[in-house]
Amino acid sequence: MTDTFSTLTEKLARHPELQWEAGDGFVRVNAPVSGGFALELQHQGGEWTVFLGSGGWHQHFDDGADALEFIAWCYSGNVRVREVWRGTSLQKSVLETQVDGAWRQTSHTGYFLVPFWRKKTEVIMQNPDLLAPA
C-alpha cells in the first residue's frame, strides 16, 4: 500500500502546477486548471479506488500499479469527465475518451434518487496533457 502512495506522491512532486494533499489512506489532487477535474486515490480493504470530478465517477482496482496507470492517463489530455446535475444533486458522471477526434463514453456512474424536476445542467471537465515532454 505504502509503495503505491509513495510512487504517486513522488510523481506529483515533479509537477509543481499540481496542488495535492495526502492523508491516512488517500491522496487527493485538485483540478490543475479551471475547467479541469480533481482526482482522489483511496485504499481500503485491499482495494484501490480512484474518484474523479466531484467524486461521482469512480473505478475500483485490485492492483495499485493499475490505479497509478489510470491516474497518469487522466493527465494525458485525452480524458474528460462530464457531470449531469439536477439542481445541486449529481445525477450522472461520465468518463469520456477521445478516439479519432471524437469523444466517446467509456463508462458512467448514475444515481437514481435525484430530484428529476430540478433544472438540468452539465459540466464538462478536462485536464491538460501533463505527460508530454516539456
What is the mean pLDDT of the segment spanning 8-32? Answer: 94
Write the single-letter amino acid at 114. V
Beta bridge partners of 105: 96
User: Greatest CA separation found in the chain?
Assistant: 47
Q: How confident is the model at residue 55 (pLDDT cuts 50, 70, 90)?
A: confident
Q: State the Cα–Cα distance between residues 119 and 111, nearest whole angstrom.
A: 16
pLDDT at 44 over 60: yes
Which of the 8 DSSP states describes residue 119?
A: P
Q: How confident is the model at residue 124 (pLDDT cuts 50, 70, 90)?
A: very high
Closest CA to 75 of 129, 35, 132, 29: 129
Q: Above 60 in pLDDT, residue 134? A: no
The pLDDT, as a whole number, for residue 112 is: 86
Output DSSP code: residue 8: H
Determine the pLDDT at residue 131.
79
